[in-house]
Structure 1
Amino acid sequence: MLTAIISVLLTAFAWPSVRSSVHDVPIAVAGPDAAVEQVTAALGQRLPGGFAITEVADTAAAQRLIRDREVYGAIDVSSGTPQVITASAASTAVAQTLQSVATALGQGTGTTAAARDLVPLPADDPRGAGLAAAALPLVMGGLLAALLLTRLIRGTARRITGALAFAMTGGLAIAAILQFWLGSLDGSYLANTGAIALTIAATSLSILGLESLLGYAGLGLGAAIMMLIGNPLSGTSTAPEMLPGWSGALGQLLPPGAGGRLLRSAAFFDGRGATHSLVVLVTWLTLGVMLCLAGDLRTRRTAAVADTTARPTAPRP
């Protein structure tokens, strides 16, 4: 059993990293039609299936797509001189890939492609290490909150209130550490706090709901979903599009992946591109509350039936 457990753990955490590659990463190519077709063909030859390309007319359109989080970066040939526009705040891995690909393309044409980081990471954390490292503590925080609340607190309303209170205090603390001490976040502190708090609340309440309905089996199921699936497939350290196959899309439907994207949007993109993540997190939070209420209702009905069965029957006259 222990051998199986460590094998599953290794597979869950190592497989996405080892099999990570560039495929269908959305980028823009800006410039005249002939130049865009030439760059697109060259990208297809160098990295077949690596990029999902959106063709735009000029630099401003490419920058707008990057700021709206519709693409990760752009190759701009609208001025005649090739330029690579990246957004390391969206993904350092994609930014580095774009720069290396553009450099290779430039060598093939005898020109040098200039690089510009449109949405950079903070100077105190230029590699985004703080954001990547924060993914696991957020999941662990939600899991530990659910575990302690089920062991120490009685009453569904009290448990839900406790989970929400912890999510808020945890959000305040983690955002303060990342933003003011480590320098890993920019933007509004309150917006970053809200993104973190919503992630913790969605994680803890969904696990609480499963435990309320299924008991310890639900607690284990919730922990497995968040830790063994959600965290490795979150794409926080690279990008969801770089994970193998369909795993990146699945990760964005779970709280760890949605929370990581929401925090990036709040910290670096003024909330742009956050709609999908908000919907996912609110859905998990709502589902968790509903499961808690359903479990509480079932417990009350079971207790009422047991009380009726145990009540002595009045003797007949």
Structure 2
Amino acid sequence: MGVVVGLTLLLGIMLCAFALPAIHTGAHGITLGVAGPQDAVDKVRALDGFDVREYSSADEARTAIEQRKIYGALIVGDDNIEIMTASAASAQAAQVIGQAGPPLALRMKKGWTITDVRPFPADDPRGAGLSGGALPLALGGWIAAILIMQLIATTRNRLLAVFAFAVVGGLALTAIIQFGFGTLDGNYLLTSLAAMLGISATAMGVLGLRELLGGVGIGIAAVLLILLGNPLSGLSSAPEMLPSPWGQIGQLLPPGATGALLRGVGLFDGHGTTHALVVLICWLVVGLGFYFLGLRRAAAKAGSPAPAA
């Protein structure tokens, strides 16, 4: 009965983890630029669900969109409002911004036009290939780390296997998304490097937790990567579309950070990738630290010297 109750609770937690973020998806601080007269700026600031930032011109707002500082902008002219979006940054955020502009234009008795400043490539206009990559990445890194621990005995070969898997897997994953799905159109090698960092950080994080904490570490990794990392990654929407602070938490986990890095490198020439780079490097370094700490502790118990880091 204890096993049955425990499994039922786990099933309920999984259901909530995957369903609740989708149910509560909406505008929760989407960054929106505005340029125009002050009275128009004030009306835009009154819109709910947006973090409004003022710009002096349409060109300045467009540059901010291209550099991933904002998701879109409303450019208020004398007779027209230009609604700028970037579906490649987030198709759902672009849709929300596109729906917010026309009612405002009607209240101000103006016309409106919608401009997609940075769309996805034509082969995958909704970016499904990118949004669908969170779970395979989380599961792939988790499964790879477990298999490496089971099949490879020495520390040196385990680390070589992790980084070899990151290189080959990164090249393959990027090729599938870019050339198979047509989701990305940036530099293939640079985007592959981003995928390699994400895979190595994920696998090394699991490997470190497993070596340090044993079976408990595997469970913690599964919770962080699959139960939390996948639904909170924001790949299918945007971190700002999830209720606070869940969107921010998702960007601190490998699936969300890797997705943001791939989006920035593969679609926006590397803009907006600093946070994701820092997060993934931290996971990689901490995973390595946990791994060697676990080895040192095991060696101390056995009375033999630990392998040199």
TM-score, length of structure 1 as denominator length: 0.92
Equivalent residues of 1:58, 1:78 under 8 A apart: no
Counterpart in 1 of 2:39? 34
Counterpart in 2 of 1:132? 131
Equivalent residues of 1:12, 1:229 under 8 A apart: yes
In structure 2, the CA distance between the partners of 1:7 and 1:115, relative to structure 1 (3 Å rule), is same
Output the CA distance in 1 between the equivalents of 2:259 and 2:209. Answer: 23
Q: Map of 1:199-278 to 2, 5 A cutoff?
A: 199-278=198-277
CA shift digits 1:119-139 (9 cap, x unpaired): 110100001111111111111
> AA paired with 1:298?
R
Secondary structure (helix, strand or coil) at the match of 1:71 reads coil
Segment of structure 1 superposing worse, 30-39 or 236-245? 30-39
Counterpart in 2 of 1:13? 18
Segment of structure 1 superposing worse, 88-97 or 294-303? 294-303
Q: Map of 1:139-158 to 2, 5 A cutoff?
A: 139-158=138-157
> AA paired with 2:213?
L
Q: CA deviation at 1:108?
A: 2.6
Q: Gapped runs of 5+ residues in structure 1?
A: 307-317
Output the CA distance in 1 between the equivalents of 2:7 and 2:294. Answer: 32
Equivalent residues of 2:79, 2:111 under 8 A apart: no
Q: Gapped runs of 5+ residues in structure 2?
A: 1-5
Counterpart in 2 of 1:108? 107
Give structure 1 regions of 4+ aligned residues with deviation exceeding 6 angstroms: none
Output the CA distance in 1 between the equivalents of 2:54 and 2:161. Answer: 49
Output the CA distance in 2 between the equivalents of 1:167 and 1:220. Answer: 22
Output the CA distance in 1 between the equivalents of 2:10 and 2:225. Answer: 16
Counterpart in 2 of 1:285? 284
Counterpart in 2 of 1:313? none
Pair 1:196 & 2:195 matched:
yes
> AA paired with 1:184?
T
The percent of aligned pairs where both chains have the same amino acid is 45
Counterpart in 2 of 1:23? 28
Secondary structure (helix, strand or coil) at the match of 1:212 reads helix
> AA paired with 2:40?
A
Secondary structure (helix, strand or coil) at the match of 1:113 reads strand
Query: What RMSD, in angstroms, separates the aligned Cα atoms of the two structures?
Result: 1.4
Output the CA distance in 1 between the equivalents of 2:78 and 2:225. Answer: 47
Equivalent residues of 1:209, 1:295 under 8 A apart: yes
Counterpart in 2 of 1:52? 51
TM-score, length of structure 2 as denominator length: 0.94
- Higher Cα Rg: structure 1 or 2? 1
Output the CA distance in 2 between the equivalents of 1:299 and 1:252. Answer: 33
Output the CA distance in 2 between the equivalents of 1:224 and 1:156. Answer: 25
Output the CA distance in 2 between the equivalents of 1:305 and 1:127. Answer: 56
Secondary structure (helix, strand or coil) at the match of 2:94 reads helix
Equivalent residues of 1:59, 1:78 under 8 A apart: no
Counterpart in 2 of 1:314? none
CA shift digits 1:86-143 (9 cap, x unpaired): 1101000010011111122223333331000111101000011111111111111101
Counterpart in 2 of 1:309? none
Output the CA distance in 1 between the equivalents of 2:54 and 2:10. Answer: 47
Output the CA distance in 2 between the equivalents of 1:67 and 1:299. Answer: 50
Output the CA distance in 1 between the equivalents of 2:285 and 2:157. Answer: 16
Counterpart in 1 of 2:69? 70
